[in-house]
């Protein structure tokens, strides 16, 4: 608990705290009061003046700041715009009494003057900071502003319960602070978004806006602090970083973390790197790509990649895999990874596996390095549909009428000049990857979904814009080009 203790007689008290980044929680201010706080405010006509004192920075028995990685210190000062709000009844925000700091602030003590429109209160049950959040019931704001070396003070919600106005009043912080630290090479961060998702609960989103053209990154870590609602419930955290106004990076916690009130939760220092993907991006990067992204989700954090390599040969024997142990075959919603792993697990140890299932054997031993639970797999019909639309420069969401069950029904517009040019551009980009197998635009790409009889599988005919049900013994015309999720 963050405790800021003030001696103010029958007074309301509050403090603005600007901590650094630390993992040991908010500080306590329980030392000798500042000499500038001698008076108990008069109560005639209500409490109209509040003289607030804090222990001097660095006084014995106190800590006026957090220690960061270098054990640096940040003093606690009032700000010239500080306003506090007092309530005569706890838990009710209908009638609040505002007080404003007298003077410009900048010191560890200050006087607050009654600034409300009603009669000043004669008693107080609880007080809050900041007054600006009274209309929201002191909810932590979802939109915050970057503050160098600290968090947005306007987001720091504190509360004090007043049982004995004549005794020192201790504030407790109701928030936690999440800290992302980034290094870089001149990139300018324009915003940082934090998504906190508790197990089985509703996700909360907070966004930190950076002023001007952004905060420039360097070899020295820059800390971005975001105030969040304090809670004892562990949450998964994902920071989304925008550079130049475009979200390009996500840093996620590897395990759920607790953002308890009065604590700071730090992620390790990380180097800025673009890792949010868009359709047609190389994956995993432009330097050593293994394929092209054709589907994205979660803003580009996740998606599906088409391999730059393929294998030809019979899909498999002309029999029903569904009826011969591959129970996941022809199940919907289609899951190509599960089907591929199950078929490989059942067939990989037979003597003629490579000859009978050349595509699956290649996926196992070449793409997945002999790992039967590897990540590359034979695509589903919906994945081939989305891939083909992207290849044609079309929006998959705008062509929901094109169904995987429409055998030999061409996609409208597949042969337009724009679609043909887009497919050629896609091929050129994919073929440019080192060790690629050229993409044959007059051929077919096969899925992992067999037809009802079991002797054929569904495929996409690239130059005719249609689904085709083709025999499994397609030989050189049967092309398996695997995909993987990220």
| Full strand arrangement of the beta sheet holding 302-307 | 282-283, 291-297, 302-307, 483-485
Q: Which of 88-97, 138-147, 192-201 has the lowest mean pLDDT?
A: 88-97
Closest CA to 237 of 176, 151, 315: 176
What is the average per-residue pLDDT within 270-292? 90
CB count, 10 Å around CB of 313? 21
- Grouping H, G, I as helix, E, B as strand and the rest as coil, residue 251 is strand
- Grouping H, G, I as helix, E, B as strand and the rest as coil, residue 175 is strand
pLDDT digits (tens, 9 = 90+) for 396-416: 999 988 988 899 999 999 999
With beta carbons less than 8 A apart as the criterion, state whether 74 and 150 touch: yes
Helix (H) or strand (E) holding 49: strand 49-53
Q: In the structure, what pLDDT confidence band is assigned to residue 482 with cuts at 50, 70 and 90?
A: very high
**What is the predicted pLDDT for the residue at 77?**
64
Closest CA to 485 of 247, 255, 295: 295
Q: Is the pLDDT of residue 1 over 60?
A: no
Tokens 């996700």, residue located: 203
Residues 6+ away with beta carbon under 8 Å from 333: 382
pLDDT digits (tens, 9 = 90+) for 463-476: 999 999 999 999 99
What is the average per-residue pLDDT within 294-313? 93
Cis before 333 (ω within 30): yes
More confident residue, 392 or 167: 392
Q: Which residues pair with 431 in a beta bridge?
A: none
With beta carbons less than 8 A apart as the criterion, state whether 110 and 78 touch: yes
pLDDT digits (tens, 9 = 90+) for 341-394: 999 999 999 999 999 999 999 999 999 999 999 999 999 999 999 999 999 999
Q: In the structure, what pLDDT confidence band is assigned to residue 249 with cuts at 50, 70 and 90?
A: confident
Tokens 């079991």, residue located: 454
Residues 6+ away with beta carbon under 8 Å from 142: 204, 205, 206, 207
Alpha-carbon distance 74 to 11, whole Å?
Answer: 27
Q: Is the pLDDT of residue 3 over 70?
A: no
What is the average per-residue pLDDT within 443-453? 95
Highest mean pLDDT pick, 13-27, 44-58, 106-120: 106-120
CATH class for domain 176-271? mainly beta
Alpha-carbon distance 162 to 165, whole Å?
Answer: 6
Domain ranges of the chain: 1-173, 176-271, 291-485
Estimate the crossing angle of helix 417-431 against helix 381-391, to 10 degrees: 100
Q: Is the pLDDT of residue 54 over 70?
A: no
- Number of H helices and E strands in the chain, helices first, is 5, 29
Q: Show the beta-strand stretches assigned E in 316-452.
A: 444-450
Radius of gyration of the chain (CA): 31
What is the average per-residue pLDDT within 112-136? 84
Dihedral sign, CA of 26, 30, 35, 41? Answer: positive
Q: In the structure, what pLDDT confidence band is assigned to residue 446 with cuts at 50, 70 and 90?
A: very high
Dihedral sign, CA of 118, 121, 124, 128? Answer: positive
172: left (phi over 0), alpha (psi -120 to 50) or beta: beta
More confident residue, 300 or 69: 300
Task: List, as one string, the DSSP characters of 288-317.
Answer: S--EEEEEEEGGGTEEEEEES--EES--S-
Residues 6+ away with beta carbon under 8 Å from 89: 125
pLDDT digits (tens, 9 = 90+) for 429-445: 999 999 999 999 999 99
More confident residue, 76 or 266: 266
pLDDT digits (tens, 9 = 90+) for 88-115: 888 877 788 888 877 887 765 556 778 8
Closest CA to 17 of 195, 306, 225, 207: 225
**What is the predicted pLDDT for the residue at 44?**
47
The share of the chain scoring above pLDDT 90, in percent, equals: 56
Q: Which of 39-48, 230-239, 308-317 has the lowest mean pLDDT?
A: 39-48
Q: In the structure, what pLDDT confidence band is assigned to residue 166 with cuts at 50, 70 and 90?
A: low
In this structure, what token pair is assigned to residue 178?
């999440």
In this structure, what token pair is assigned to residue 381?
């019909």
DSSP classification of residue 50: E
Cis before 120 (ω within 30): no
């Amino acid at each position: 608990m963050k405790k800021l203790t003030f001696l103010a007689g029958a007074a309301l008290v509050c403090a603005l705290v600007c901590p650094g980044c630390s993992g040991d929680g908010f500080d306590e201010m329980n030392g000798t009061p500042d000499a500038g706080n001698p008076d108990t405010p008069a109560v005639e006509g209500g409490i109209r003046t509040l003289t607030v004192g804090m222990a001097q920075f660095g006084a014995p028995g106190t800590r006026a700041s957090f220690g960061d990685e270098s054990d640096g210190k940040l003093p606690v000062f009032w700000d010239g715009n500080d306003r506090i709000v007092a309530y005569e009844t706890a838990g009710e925000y209908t009638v609040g009494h505002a007080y404003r700091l007298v003077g410009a602030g900048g010191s560890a003590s200050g006087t607050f003057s009654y600034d409300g429109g009603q009669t000043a209160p004669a008693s107080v049950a609880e007080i809050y900071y900041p007054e600006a959040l009274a209309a929201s019931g002191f909810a932590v704001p979802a939109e915050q502003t970057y503050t160098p070396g600290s968090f947005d003070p306007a987001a720091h919600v504190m509360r004090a319960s007043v049982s004995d106005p004549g005794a020192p009043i201790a504030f407790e912080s109701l928030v936690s602070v999440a800290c992302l630290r980034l290094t870089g090479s001149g990139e300018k961060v324009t915003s940082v978004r934090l998504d906190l998702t508790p197990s089985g609960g509703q996700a909360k989103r907070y966004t930190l806006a950076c002023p001007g053209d952004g905060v420039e990154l360097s070899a020295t870590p820059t800390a971005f602090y975001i105030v969040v609602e304090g809670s004892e419930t562990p949450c998964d955290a994902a920071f989304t970083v925008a550079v130049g106004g475009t979200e390009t990076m996500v840093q996620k916690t590897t395990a759920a973390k607790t953002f308890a009130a009065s604590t700071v939760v730090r992620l390790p220092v990380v180097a800025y790197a673009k890792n949010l993907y868009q359709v047609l991006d190389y994956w995993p990067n432009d330097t050593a790509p293994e394929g092209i992204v054709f589907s994205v989700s979660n803003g580009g954090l996740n998606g599906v990649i088409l391999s730059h390599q393929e294998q030809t040969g019979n899909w498999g024997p002309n029999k029903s895999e569904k009826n011969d142990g591959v129970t996941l075959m022809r199940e919907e919603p289609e899951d190509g990874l599960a089907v591929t792993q199950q078929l490989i697990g059942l067939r990989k140890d037979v003597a003629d596996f490579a000859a009978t299932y050349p595509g699956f054997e290649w996926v196992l031993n070449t793409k997945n390095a002999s790992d039967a639970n590897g990540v590359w797999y034979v695509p589903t019909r919906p994945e081939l549909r989305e891939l083909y639309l992207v290849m044609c420069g079309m929006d998959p969401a705008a062509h929901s009428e094109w169904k995987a069950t429409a055998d030999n029904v061409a996609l409208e517009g597949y042969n337009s000049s724009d679609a043909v040019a887009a497919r050629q551009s896609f091929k050129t980009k994919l073929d440019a990857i080192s060790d690629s197998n050229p993409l044959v635009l007059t051929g077919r790409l096969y899925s992992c979904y067999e037809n009802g009889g079991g002797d054929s599988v569904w495929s996409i005919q690239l130059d005719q814009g249609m689904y085709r049900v083709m025999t499994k013994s397609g030989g050189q015309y049967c092309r398996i080009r695997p995909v993987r999720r990220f």
